[in-house]
Structure 1
Amino acid sequence: MKKAKALLLSALMAAAPMAHADEGMWTLYNLPQAVYDQMKSYGFSLPYNDIYGSKDAIKNSVVLFGGFCSGVVVSPDGLVFTNHHCGFEAIRSHSTVEHDYMLNGFYAKSYEEELPNENLFVSFMVKQEDVSQRLKALGIDKLSDEEATQLIDSVAAAMTEEARQADKGLHVEIDPYYEGNQYFATTYRMFTDVRLVFTVPKSMGKFGGETDNWMWPRQTCDFSVFRIYADPKTNGPAEYSKDNVPYKAPHWAQVSLDGYKDGDFAMTVGYPGSTERYLSSYGIKEMRDAGNATRVQVRGVKQEIMKRHMQADEAVRIKYDSKYAQSANYWKNSMGMNKCIDSIGIIGQKQAYEKLIRQYQEKTGYLQGKLDFDKMAKLYGERFDRMRAFYYWYETFNGTCELTSRALKYCNGMEAKGSEKDSLKMYNEFEDNSDAWDEALDKEVFSVLLQNYREHVDKQYLPSFYTTIDKKFKGNCKAYVDYLYKKSILMKKGAKIYFNKKGTEKDPGIQLGLSLQKYLADQKEALGTLSDSIALQEKYLCAARLRMEEDMPHYSDANMTMRLSYGRVGGFTMNGSPSGYYTTAESIVKKMKTSDNFSDYYAEPIMSELLSAKDFGKYQDKTTGKMQLCFLTNNDITGGNSGSPMFNGKGELIGLAFDGNWDSLSSDIYFEKNLARCIGVDIRYVIFMMDKWGHADRLLKEMNVE
């Protein structure tokens, strides 16, 4: 290495956000040897091939759960552990006022009682490979983002067709890595018959509620149990059928009741959703001020209304439990991230790092004439106001209420019903989903958010229907919403919408949908060239970093593909105070006693009774003598890692990851190694609840943890 380069890298070590030993979301198939060696030095004892390559590789027990979470197979009969909040919607969908599984929990005492879930799936990663050169040979580097997406889809389709010649249950997806500088193809096997087997009551599965969300210490028993079902002849994927049988897993994770101690090796394997560690300082500023701040503002308004209606009516609570939890999760995350961006000074650190990259570029000429920091700053400046308005549009109109959801679905094209021979008799029809939403809540949320949108964006970003609100309803958003729900055919139960019928497009709800659709198309067109140019600059910035640090291993940003992160069990120090690295049964009982003042700490009396035991037997930690509930590691996680198995050095299951800590919520863009922690539910706590509360003897026997 040249002396100048060595000096430059020494400076980078001190100033730049680089991959430390405990940082990184590593792809498994090409795990760097240096990373594996570090894992071994921490206490990992399995051979390299048992991570990805062998028939008993750890990857073979880990699943993508529902496309938004992670999970792990824990028995030879396809039993899957994931988080309670990952199973939230499945649990809610089976709940009624008479049989409220969300409130009271659920245990299927036989295979026949296990509950099927429409649209729920799990996927196993079969293999992964680098297809960068194949795509580059097809000219992907010369295409726009839209054209590149089309090319990727066509190549993935060809690879899927080839894979299915050997196994009809396979499909291939291709994703960009390193800001589009590389592309990996992943082959998956997806099972769509996934059934609910066990869940604790919400009081335990979401213990602490929004009070404790993203916080430490935690006592949340955040787990639920599902089972994969398969074709009885092939043991392969099959659509739901009463004739399907439990999947015979070729590999599963062994539950360990041995526990852990401070400093022990710990590893998570799962499907982290999205990080932006390579993002420029300009991109982080846009994220903070246009994205996060907007999300916090709009969701804060929406959630206040939702909570008021949910508290007033039990049936409404059941309908909106899952929706409220999903909204509130990243509402609080966005607040915490912005706080950390400022308190850690991330933008300033990124700017200093970018200055070093400029120096490297000037010394080497690498990407000269392509990577242009001044151009990047100008592009982001031109995009800011429009992006802020776009975030307001998204948070206000996308999936916020039933009316806009139906209006956009109709205008974007639905599957037609009726006779194909006579177009005049073809129609669209919405299924009755009255069990999933409440009209009073829906109308109030929509009318308030309509007014909120007007107050926070410039007039040029108002969709055309605001003219109707002003002219016909004198600016009264509530009156406009009442009119829509009363008059629009979209909201008529069982109505057939004949799209070739004269006057259909004059329907006020459809007019709303067309206005939203046109607005979105106009904004995407206006943003298109700008966003393509920004993405190209970010790609060059990432490439420059990889070249400058070519002697070091680098992981790609998370993109909902399988990743491994590793580190150690242990706490952190904040303002001179140690966090501790585990919580105990005593701590949750203490919180339960304050539930009169803090409703998020309520739990059924039986829970306090069970967790007040004097002797927890095999579930009690042998070192501390305590019943340990949740614990900390410095594993690198993000959204999507929820439900990720946490393994010890032998590859045994010791917990399930479910959260990060408030003090490091900027970790999606910057991993603060002194503060960033993964919060996991101790697997002994999980098994204890299945045993002592659920009396799930058949499941414990199945997992060989009797």
Structure 2
Amino acid sequence: MKKVFITALAMLFMHPVLWAHEGMWLPSLIKKLNEQDMKESGFKLTAEDIYSVNKSSMKDAVVLFGRGCTGEIVSDQGLILTNHHCGYGQIQAHSTVENDYLTDGFVAKEMGDELPNPNLEVSFIVRIEDVSAKVLAGVTDEMSEEQREGMIKSNSDAVAASATQGTHYDAIIKPFFYGNEYYMFVMETFKDVRLVFAPPSSIGKFGGDTDNWVWPRHTGDFSVFRVYAGKDNKPAAYSPDNVPFKPRHHFPISLNGVQAEDFTMVYGFPGSTQQYIPSYGVEYVTEVSNPVKIGMRDKSLGIIKDAMESDDAVRIKYSAKQARIANAWKKWIGESKGLDRLQAVEVKQNQEEAFKNKAQGTEYAGLLDEFKEDYNAVSQYHLARDLFVEYFYYGPEILRFADRFDKLPTLADSEDINAIVKEVEGLSGVSKGYFKDYDTETDRKIFEALSAMYADAIDEAFLPESLKAAKASGNFAKLTETMYSKSVFATQEKVNGLLLKALDAAEKVKANPEDEKAQQSLRKAVAAVGKKVKSDPAFKLSKEITATYNDKIRSEYGELSAKIDKNMRKYVKGLQTFFPNKKYWSDANLTLRVTYGKVEGSEPQDGIEYLPYTTLKGVIEKRRTDVPKTHEFYVPEKLVKLYETKDYGIYGQGDELVVCFTGSNHTTGGNSGSPVINAEGQLIGINFDRTWESTMSDIMFDPEKCRNIVVDVRYVLFVIDKFGGAKRLVDEMTLVKAEEPVEVE
């Protein structure tokens, strides 16, 4: 039976329609590839309503939010809905123990109260263009990969420059199908984005880590921002004089709710998938990479959890960090389980066998044997890289912070005195922000635990001398004591003392830029600081780790990965050649995509059948009354009263209030905050997660198990209006009832 099952899945690989709801499609190609199928699935509009260059369309209401989320415009005054976890960093940045917006939520009573967020940007897609011919002009098979990439970069730069010349737009060009095709995305980016509304974490993060990636879900995962522009409606740096942005399109919001089998579409910026990787890649993920990364994050999360529970100040400092670490940790656990359940390695092997049979006597013969050799060769470097990333970028912060001072040991020699002033002042500013969200004792415990794990897991040839010595002695406690007692980077007081004289000297140079004596004093002060930094134990270990990675890992990993990528380009082209009846979609790469499916429950395990929706009743059933309001299952008393009186306003459905629902849409990271749209082009919810059984969909999609999780837009409006008292925001929006059909503008 197992063999029959695997063979059947392999046959699906060759079928014209692989799975009904699989795929993340470029909106500019919907008319060509998907419009008919979408209409047959219930969609009532046209491909041009989804994407158009010549008139307003849905694409004009979808934004890339920050560095890796999606948001949607829901009013003609630039109001944005996205996820609570997408806005979490901004909410946390505005929070203090006295004004704890994370715990208590935030409501801007009027526009003047909306909070600016330095460094937060949102980008609209102006147009998408296939530029494959222009980018690949002059590229030949005889070129080395380095020559090929050089030619492609040169061509891409020229194409992007030409597309944006004389405009305020930006353009990025990204490879599709591993470089067989290239598309240009012309974007308009706004840099004045303000926080408008955030529910308390007891709503926006209800269920916490326990419910993360889990269904049934009862999380009101949303936050509200607003885009501001100059008076000409174009992007402008933050200014009190800026005005709300007037969008080309905003989503009307349906109050009609959803039913099982209803058409749904998710429009957003999915981050990354690996659907085409061969069986050797899947084996590495499930048997090597995920177990190691899960173990390291499990250890650090335990330390952070204990620290957050013991101190409110630490809780606020580490809330965003904890969420960032925990999200991927739990995802990897589910991904490994799902790939194992799907027998993904065997399925891939059967697909590869079908490819081999077709490839005999062609240029593709032997390609999969090359993959095997390449993956065997890269494995030790791949693991070393994964460990480096986990330890250096997600482990003890003292090493990353020390690395920020990398220029100081040689800074005094710079001929540009203004650059010296700028660097010293910049480091002072970085330090203030860093220590606002840092706790020395928590970081100390993480350092000791993860240093031992890192040293144990990595090949000794890639282990820095300091960690090698600690491993040999078995005494990581001694290394930790030395690090945190002697390093200036362990406390804000020590860093302030380190920079004090240099900052004073920099101020004198700024006051009198031509004063050579002041310049000499600054150089002398900076040289003294640089000398201390160079001998600092945290800085030294940071340099050891990064130098070891750069000298022994990066190059080899890069060369072998480039070879794999080259063969992947050939492999995907071969698939399209040998199995031409299948509709192919390119792996996600944080570009605008459409995925569609339907409202649908699931049967994740034998004997378990899930409904496709949850209600406020479930929130109350999960409620804990014996916990503080920072607990993941605390429910605010006001929400309890609204439930008990069934005071749902226009947002209820009879005597129920739907909180979340699931759909069979193919989503991934980056789709967080994406609009979920019904057949009429109206907003019905905000995508925020997948079920735990779905997390393997980045590599292999299972239509029977994969479900995306959506917060119902009616619950969002209920929380804004009835709970939060911000009806002014709802009044901005276009609400649609059954008797008021709305066409796309």
TM-score > 0.5 by shorter chain = yes
Structure 1 residues 231 and 385, CA, compared in 2 at 3 Å: closer, same or farther?
same
Report the more deviating stretch, 527-536 or 203-212. Answer: 527-536
Answer whether contact 1:157 1:172 (CA < 8 A) is retained. no
- Distance, in Å, in 2 between the alignment partners of 1:618 and 1:553 is 42
Cα distance, 1:16 vs structure 2: 5.7
Given that 2:10 and 2:347 are in contact with CA atoms closer than 8 Å, whether structure 1 keeps it comes out as no
**Secondary structure at 1:398's aligned position in 2?**
helix
Which position in structure 1 is the counterpart of 2:293?
A: 295
Q: Cα distance 1:57–1:311, how it changes in 2: closer, same or farther (>3 A)?
A: same
For the residue of structure 2 that corresponds to 1:30, the secondary structure is: helix
Inter-CA distance 559–705: structure 2 relative to 1 (3 Å threshold)? same
The answer (yes or no) to whether the contact 1:488–1:507 under 8 Å persists in 2 is yes
Letter of the structure 2 residue corresponding to residue 680 of structure 1? V
Whether the 8 Å CA contact 1:424–1:500 is kept in 2: the answer is no
Alignment-derived partner of residue 26 in structure 2: 27
Within a 5 Å distance, the mapping from 1:372-411 to structure 2 comes to 372-411=367-406
Q: Report the equivalent of 1:368.
A: 364
Q: Is the 8 A contact 1:152 1:174 kept in 2?
A: no
Bigger drift between 111-120 and 576-585 goes to 576-585
Assess, with a 3 A threshold, how the Cα gap between structure 1 residues 141 and 321 changes in structure 2: closer, same or farther: farther
2:136 is paired with a residue of what secondary structure? helix
1:421–1:657 CA distance, 2 compared to 1 (3 A): closer
Alpha-carbon distance in 2 for matches of 1:229, 1:204: 27
Equivalent residue, structure 2, for 1:545:
575
Flag the 1:621–1:424 CA change in 2: closer, same or farther, 3 A.
closer
1:190 corresponding residue in structure 2: 189
CA distance in structure 1 between the aligned counterparts of 2:446 and 2:148, rounded to whole angstroms: 38
SS of alignment partner, residue 531 of structure 1: helix
Q: Please give the alpha-carbon distance, in whole angstroms, between the structure 1 residues aligned to 2:411 and 2:546.
A: 20
Question: CA shift at 1:206, angstroms?
Answer: 0.7
Show the counterpart of 2:516. Answer: none
**TM-score, with length taken from structure 2:** 0.87
Bigger Cα displacement from structure 2, 495-504 vs 536-545:
495-504
How far the C-alpha of 1:141 sits from its partner, in A, is 5.8
* C-alpha separation in 1, matches of 2:644 and 2:410: 56
In 2, are the aligned partners of 1:407 and 1:512 still within 8 Å (CA)?
A: no
Q: Between 601-610 and 245-254, report the one with greater CA deviation.
A: 601-610
Verify: 1:592 aligned to 2:593, yes or no: no
Corresponding residue number in structure 2 for 1:659? 689
Q: What's the CA shift for 1:457? A: 2.3
Letter matched to residue 367 of structure 1: E
Question: How many Å separate the matches in 2 of 1:679 and 1:318?
Answer: 27
Once the two structures are superposed, the pairs formed by residues 234-273 of structure 1 within 5 Å of their partners are: 234-273=232-271
**Who is 1:6 aligned against?**
none
User: What is the aligned length?
Assistant: 689
Deviations 1:488-544 (A, max 9, x none): 344532333866557453333332222122111120122232222222222222111
TM-superposed CA distance for 1:654, in Å, is 0.3
Give 5+ residue unaligned stretches, structure 2: 1-6, 503-524, 737-745
Match of 2:638 in 1: 606
Q: Distance in 1 between matches of 2:358 and 2:447?
A: 52
Deviations 1:636-678 (A, max 9, x none): 1001100000000110000000111112221001110111111
Q: CA deviation at 1:56?
A: 2.3
- The Cα shift of 1:332 comes to 0.4
**Are the counterparts in 2 of residues 15 and 349 from structure 1 also a CA contact under 8 Å?**
no
1:445-480 Cα offsets, whole Å, 9 max, x none, are 112211111222232221133256479xx5533332
* Match in the other structure for 2:650: 618
Structure 1 position 509 matched with structure 2 position 538: yes
Q: Distance in 1 between matches of 2:621 and 2:8?
A: 50
CA contact (8 A) 1:144 1:532 kept: no
How many angstroms apart in 2 are the aligned matches of 1:424 and 1:690? 47
1:257-297 deviation line (CA, Å, top 9, x unaligned): 11111111110000000011111111111122232112101
Residue 587 of structure 2 is matched in structure 1 by: 557
Aligned partners of 1:571, 1:118: CA distance in 2, in Å? 41
Decide whether the 8 Å contact of 1:83 with 1:222 is kept in 2: yes
2:644 and 2:171 map into 1 onto residues whose CA distance is: 50
Q: Which residue of 1 aligns with 2:511?
A: none
Alignment of 1:350-365 (within 5 A): 350-362=348-360, 365=361
The reply to whether residue 650 of structure 1 matches residue 652 of structure 2 is no
Deviations 1:191-236 (A, max 9, x none): 111110001000110111111111111110000000001112x211
2:62 maps to: 62
Indicate if the aligned counterparts of 2:269 and 2:671 stay in contact, CA closer than 8 A.
Answer: yes
CA distance in 1, matches of 2:117, 2:412: 25
Q: Partner of 2:170 in structure 1?
A: 171
CA distance in 2 between counterparts of 1:64 and 1:142 reads 38
The residue aligned with 2:207 is 208
Could you tell me how far apart the structure 1 residues matched to 2:154 and 2:489 are?
Answer: 36
> For residues 489 and 142 of structure 2, what CA distance do their matches in structure 1 show?
43
Cα deviation, residue 151, structure 1 = 4.9
| Structure 2 Cα separation of the partners of residues 38 and 374 of structure 1 | 37
Q: Distance in 1 between the 2:146 and 2:113 partners?
A: 46
- Letter of the aligned partner of 1:459 in structure 2? E
Secondary structure of 2:656 counterpart: coil
For 2:62 and 2:306, the matched residues in 1 are separated by 39
CA contact (8 A) 1:191 1:229 kept: yes
Measure, in 2, the Cα distance between the counterparts of 1:415 and 1:30: 52
Map of 2:722 onto structure 1: 692
Superposed CA deviations along residues 418-449 of structure 1, whole A, max 9, x for unmatched, are 98455997664342221111111112111221
Take 1:258 and 1:424, find their aligned partners in 2: how far apart are those partners? 59
Instruction: Provide TM-score, normalisation by structure 1.
Output: 0.92
Give deviations 1:668-693, integer Å, cap 9, x for gaps. 01110111111100000000011111
Structure 1 residue 15, shift from structure 2 partner: 5.6
Give the match for residue 71 of structure 1. 71
- Any gaps of 5 or more consecutive residues in structure 1? 1-8
SS of equivalent residue, structure 2 residue 541: helix
Instruction: Name the aligned partner's letter for residue 331 of structure 1.
Output: W
Distance across 2 between alignment mates of 1:697 and 1:397:
45
Distance 2:264 2:9 in 1: 31
How many angstroms apart in 2 are the aligned matches of 1:635 and 1:425? 52
Report the counterpart of residue 573 of structure 1 in structure 2: 603
Cα RMSD after superposing both structures: 2.7
Counterparts of 2:408 and 2:350, CA distance in 1: 48
Matched, 1:311 2:309: yes
Give CA deviations for 1:391-421 in whole Å, capped at 9, x if unaligned. Answer: 1221111243332112333337999699845
Q: Structure 1's 149 and 82: CA in aligned 2 closer, same or farther, altered over 3 A?
A: farther
CA deviation map 1:2-35 (0-9, x unaligned): xxxxxxx999544669632211100011225341
In the aligned structure 2, how far is the partner of 1:421 from the partner of 1:274?
41
Counterpart amino acid of residue 135 in structure 2: L
Q: Secondary structure at the match of 1:197?
A: strand
| 1:256 partner letter | S
Residue range with higher mean Cα deviation, 668-677 or 544-553: 544-553
Identity of aligned residues (%): 36
